[in-house]
Amino acid sequence: MANKRILVLNGHPGEQSLSLHFTQLYARAAEAAGAEVRLHSLPDMSFDADFGQSSYSQFKPLEPPLADFLTDLEWADHFVVATPMWWGGLPAKLKGLFGRAFIPGRAFDTSVRKMGMPAPILTGKTARVIMTSDTPLWFERLIYRRAFMHQLTKQILAFVGIKPTRYTYFSGASEAAEAKVERWGAMVSARGKSMA
């Protein structure tokens, strides 16, 4: 689909990572296929990740990187985030980005309730998560019961209206051989080409 608007986020806080590599591959492939792409990288974003003691009626003003991210997310049709799984969840800074940027009036509406929950505002968008981990996928499914995926899919993205969320999962990431990383990269580029 030409002219599809895609926001791609490197959700790894380190300067160099597989997540950064994969977001660059995805963005290049999507652009080559005709998409409009905006790329953000967590290490380049300076903001206070702590929501603090404020409330939904009085919260910290968004720092420019958070304001830019939220504006680009509002613009996008499709949201792609590459992230590692650390200690069963998101890196702290990435969790902080969602906690700070997903504010009432822009991401959800506290004045409108559906089944007791605020109404989502960022509807009509889909998501792709490119997830790296050292945990085998079967273990993530059977033992951890996809806790990471449930949190990100349902309690964060769907809460603000972004759905469905699909996953590309790469395990054994810490010690992956170069040939394996190249295979993974080819899969990511294929996702970018199809804008999925």
Q: What are phi and psi of 22, to 5 degrees?
A: -70, -40
pLDDT tens per residue, range 41-76: 999 999 999 987 766 777 889 999 999 999 999 999
pLDDT tens per residue, range 85-140: 999 999 999 999 999 999 999 999 998 888 889 999 999 999 999 999 999 888 88
Report the run of H or E that residue 111 belongs to, with start and end.
Answer: strand 108-114
CB 66 within 8 A of CB 44: no
**Residue 54: per-residue pLDDT:** 67
Q: Report the interhelical angle of 92-101 vs 64-75 (nearest 10°).
A: 70
CA 85 – CA 165 distance, rounded (Å): 16
Of the candidates 140, 13, 159, 181, the one whose C-alpha atom is nearest the C-alpha of residue 82 is 13
Q: Read off the pLDDT band of 2 (50, 70, 90).
A: low
Q: Which CATH architecture has domain 5-194?
A: 3-Layer(aba) Sandwich (3.40)
Q: Read off the pLDDT band of 144 (50, 70, 90).
A: confident
In the chain, domain spans:
5-194
**Residue 31: per-residue pLDDT:** 98
Residue 169 has which token pair? 């999962």
Residue 126 has which token pair? 């889909």
Residue 80 has which token pair? 């792609």
Query: Considering the chain, what is the average pLDDT of its residues?
Result: 94
Residue 152 has which token pair? 């990100």
